A and B are shown apart, each in its own frame.
Chain A
Amino acid sequence: MADVQIVGLRKAFGPTVAVDDFTLSVADGEFVALLGPSGCGKTTVMRMISGITDADQGQVILSGQRIDALMPERRNIGLVFQSYALFPHMSVARNVAFGLRMRRWPAADIAAKVAQTLALVDLSGHADRLPRELSGGQQQRVALARAIAIEPPLLLLDEPLSNLDAKLREQLRDDLKALQRRLGITTIHVTHDQSEAMALADRVVVMNAGAIVEIGTPRDLYQTPRTRFSAEFLGHTNVIPARVQSGRMITDWGQFVGVAPTGAGTVQLSVRPEDLGLTAADQGAGEVTEVTFLGPEVEHRVTIGGLTLRSRSSGKDAVVHAKGTRVVLAFPSDLHLLAEWGGA
């Protein structure tokens, strides 16, 4: 059972606290993404798990054993770097074989494992090439092969796809997911790209300023985020403040249909652009200020009651309104409220 328990990890560099009280449980075979902006501490967490950086406090327990006091070479964790970090003076095969040589595997077993792993990442013909002769995508696959060849219980990926161009990134993303499913390795993936996190992960850990903001499945995080930060980080959203009055949520320009929370005060609604509909109406409170054709979607920007909201519709039959059209907005029936403390 290669499960991972991370308890209370903390790291400070001088007066700056990079990671504060990071606690996470990862199940065997689970794919978890650490998602957040630059400087949120996600890479520091990864480096503490792998042993590159010493934690000030906290524990890391892998398969029931504490590893945080071990030297990096004893932790048996596969690492894939953003820079690939392939050994430039070794061939692809020797790169992949390196970890096995360090474990003193017999030569024949090494050769077999290398061949098998290269086949898994679809690089069988390139065994004798040098890293500099390979493309970025191929180098990344070698880095992956090198990490999984040692059959680690845990795989750590540090923004492995960031250096690749968009199309290649998507392709490798799919390959990565398929590979992980097939091998069933517990994986923690660090990234700042929310679409990547959502596409790959079983669960996403949203981080900001050294702390965990929210944890959830991609779908839950996207559709019902608890905090404004998560809502705005995972794709676009419209945040609408509303007042609660006698069981209803109202704004200056309209009332919401739906059950309001009890009590009084203000709430924040989060509505995704694709869930916000527009209908042209002469007396509409909103006005279209900008229309952008994005390819798969059309985005309308609407000013209403002092707010600027975005609405997106897809497909070739989507209605396109001209600038200046007055519109009414259509909201989904189950509105999502952000938890109050999560305000950005």
Chain B
Amino acid sequence: MTTSRATLWILLVPGVGYLVLFFGLPLVLALLTSLGMGTIGTNDGFTLRHYAELFSDSVYRDGIRYSLYISVVPTLVSLAVALPLAVALQSTFPGKKLFLTLYKVPLVVPGIVAAFIVMILFDRGGEMSRLLKPLGLSLPKLVRDDWSLGVIIALAWKSIPFMTLIIGGALASIPVARSLGASRLTVFWQIELPLSLPGITAAVLLVFVGSTGAFAVPSLLGPIYPKPLSVWMYEAAYQKNDWGLATAMGIVMSAIACAVLLAYYRVTHGLRRATGGEVR
């Protein structure tokens, strides 16, 4: 009852074919354009000047640095919250079932709404500052501030459930080592943490790379300067019509994403082996 190659191809073509056509192909075209060999915009033959411009212009270098900043910091903040939360969710407590659904809500809230929320709560004159005023306290500047705190808050808020979900999954798949009088903390440090490390790494990688493409949140909440690379990319494409530069930026960010993808696969493959799951 083994399937023929032809049947296999027919089954795979709709899904995989679509992605090759609409994802793979544009990526290849973008690569070509970034190297000066595309069909829109600059096409005078192979050149690295777009990449050179990207890495030499201080504006863009600041953009790269800023993009990394708003990718790394929210990821770390999320981890700091998601890890204990994931651990807490391994225990049973009243109302757990409902909680398990509720905490995931930010997953389906668009970035813009998260930015909006931060705006109405944390901006100058926002609800938080109004609540604190009678107490004589005041909030630091959180929107359009130099440290992009508002951006970090919004991005972390969105990422925490996702990270918790993945880390929680990793923890849940570890067979319970309720052994021989070891305290809860010991069990965690010596058994659960090391075994779930691949899962934690996977979560961190995914959140990190997701944040690199943040556009709406930094645009709405971030400082006027520096702008993240994502915004520069949009402006290069649609305002300056400089597709060579825009695609160069896109390729650089895609390259980071692909590197993360490979690392993620390496790590989850190791996780499967570590927890005795089947390796397909």
Contacts and interface: CB of A to CB of B under 8 A. Distances in A.
B91 interface: no
Contacts of B2: 53-54
Which secondary structure characterizes the binding site on chain A? loop
Nearest to A54: B2
A72 to B, nearest CB: 6
A72 B1 CA distance: 8
Interface in A19-57: 51-54
Nearest to A72: B1
Interface in B1-44: 1-2
Interface residues of B, number: 2
Which secondary structure characterizes the binding site on chain B? loop
Nearest to A50: B1
A246 B178 CA distance: 67
Contacts of A53: 1-2
Nearest to A53: B1
B119 to A, nearest CB: 49
B170 to A, nearest CB: 28
B280 to A, nearest CB: 16
A54 B1 CA distance: 6
Interface string B144-167: 000000000000000000000000
Contacts of A51: 1
B3 to A, nearest CB: 11
Interface string A61-83: 00000000001100000000000
Nearest to A73: B1
Contacts of B1: 51-54, 71-72
A72 B2 CA distance: 11
A53 B1 CA distance: 6
A43 to B, nearest CB: 15
A311 B121 CA distance: 85
Interface string A128-143: 0000000000000000
A140 to B, nearest CB: 24
B96 to A, nearest CB: 24
A71 B3 CA distance: 12
Nearest to A52: B1
Contacts of A52: 1
A71 B1 CA distance: 7
Nearest to A51: B1
A136 B161 CA distance: 40
A51 B2 CA distance: 10
Closest 6 CB pairs of A and B: A54-B2, A52-B1, A72-B1, A51-B1, A54-B1, A53-B1
Interface of A: 51-54, 71-72
8 contacts: A51-B1, A52-B1, A53-B1, A53-B2, A54-B1, A54-B2, A71-B1, A72-B1
Given A53-B2, A54-B2, 6 more contacts: A51-B1, A52-B1, A53-B1, A54-B1, A71-B1, A72-B1
